[in-house]
């Protein structure tokens, strides 16, 4: 899935020292809208956030793709492993809503 980059908030934070749950808590407190991306070798997980709440997710492992609740759980679990990177990008509300709804269809 191609996602517009948007405004960079955080880029390439190491999963070795980034607590994904604390990062998401901070984004929730700041009513952040955009997405949080977790990247590893041949892996990309994207959490879509609307005002700090996760509204959908998309995960790519090689050629396999998954969306929804299972993807959310998998991304949060994967983000605790070493040798990955976490990036956060801000997008307009309408764009996040559109991207998240496309995953549901």
Q: What is the pLDDT of residue 100?
A: 86
pLDDT tens digit string along 56-81? 999 999 899 999 999 999 999 999 99
pTM: 0.94
Structure-block tokens of residue 3: 């996602």
Which helix H or strand E contains 50, and what residues bound it? strand 43-50
Q: What is the pLDDT of residue 72?
A: 96
Structure-block tokens of residue 10: 């955080």
* Neighbour-count burial of 61, counting CB atoms closer than 10 A to its CB (0-12 exposed, 13-18 middle, 19+ buried): middle
pLDDT tens digit string along 35-61? 999 999 999 999 999 999 999 999 999
β-pairing verdict for 53-61 and 43-50: antiparallel
pLDDT band at 105 (very low <50, low <70, confident <90, very high): low
Q: For 24, phi and psi rounded to 5 degrees?
A: -65, -35
Which helix H or strand E contains 10, and what residues bound it? strand 7-14
pLDDT band at 91 (very low <50, low <70, confident <90, very high): very high
């Amino acid at each position: 899935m191609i996602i517009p980059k948007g405004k960079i908030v955080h880029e390439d934070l190491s999963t070795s020292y980034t607590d994904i749950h604390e990062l998401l808590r901070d984004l929730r407190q700041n009513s952040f809208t955009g997405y949080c991306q977790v990247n590893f070798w041949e892996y990309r997980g994207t959490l879509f956030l609307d005002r700090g709440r996760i509204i959908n997710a998309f995960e790519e492992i090689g050629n396999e793709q998954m969306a929804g609740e299972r993807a959310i759980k998998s991304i949060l679990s994967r983000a605790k492993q070493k040798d990955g990177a976490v990036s956060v990008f801000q997008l307009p509300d309408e764009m996040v809503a559109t991207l998240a709804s496309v995953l549901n269809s």
